[in-house]
Chains A and B, each alone.
Chain A
Amino acid sequence: DSGVTQTPKHLITATGQRVTLRCSPRSGDLSVYWYQQSLDQGLQFLIQYYNGEERAKGNILERFSAQQFPDLHSELNLSSLELGDSALYFCASSLGVAGELFFGEGSRLTVL
């Protein structure tokens, strides 16, 4: 158990809908990262927050947004969903900005 909690574990929704994925980092970790893992595209970095502030942005679509709250949990919002958004979405946390990452078990999103 990494200590990173993600909910929901599975989510099935329709095209055009909006979903919110939630992540609770390990106790004491200030950095939260979001990744997307598709079958044919490997691990894609989406966005990173450090202590509530956006730190780095990767290949995150404009339809996606995220935030980190004062209690350090984070949410990833995915809107106007398309079939191609079906993937595993991972949250990871680290103590600072340079240490190893600890991953949650992921949220599997299926868009029908």
Chain B
Amino acid sequence: AQSVAQPEDQVNVAEGNPLTVKCTYSVSGNPYLFWYVQYPNRGLQFLLKYITGDNLVKGSYGFEAEFNKSQTSFHLKKPSALVSDSALYFCAVRDNYQLIWGAGTKLIIKP
């Protein structure tokens, strides 16, 4: 069965430092992978997706994600964290017509 794992419930990073939010997946066939962000009391916002092509995908707000087929990972990264990046981040993989969601990772950026 298709699945997505976000192994960290929470990630703490100092402002200005690089950040990584981890995601691993299990799918049959080629994965369609997504990252979304949810700010407090808001709906989810699409950040970026991987369908095919370059393993490094660039998205909104300076975020990027690296697709690694051998490690079945799709980690979200940003070179320099901002306090405003503090939010809940969700990884998802497409399974036919549905998205399979990770449990979410709370990212806290400390000044």
Residues of A within 8 A of B (CB): 2, 4, 42-43, 45, 48, 50, 55-56, 58, 90, 92, 97-98, 100-106
Contacts of B45 in A (CB 8 A): 2, 103
Q: Which interface class (under 10, 10 to 19, 20 to 34, 35 or more) fits B?
A: 10 to 19
B104 touches A102 (CB 8 A): no
B103 touches A45 (CB 8 A): no
B5 beta carbon closer than 8 Å to chain A = no
Tell me whether A48 and B97 are in contact in the complex, defined as CB-CB below 8 angstroms, given that A102-B46, A106-B43 are known contacts: yes
7 new A-B contacts, CB < 8 A, other than A56-B96, A56-B98, A98-B94, are A2-B43, A4-B43, A92-B43, A101-B99, A103-B36, A103-B44, A105-B42
Distance in angstroms from A10 CB to nearest chain B CB is 11
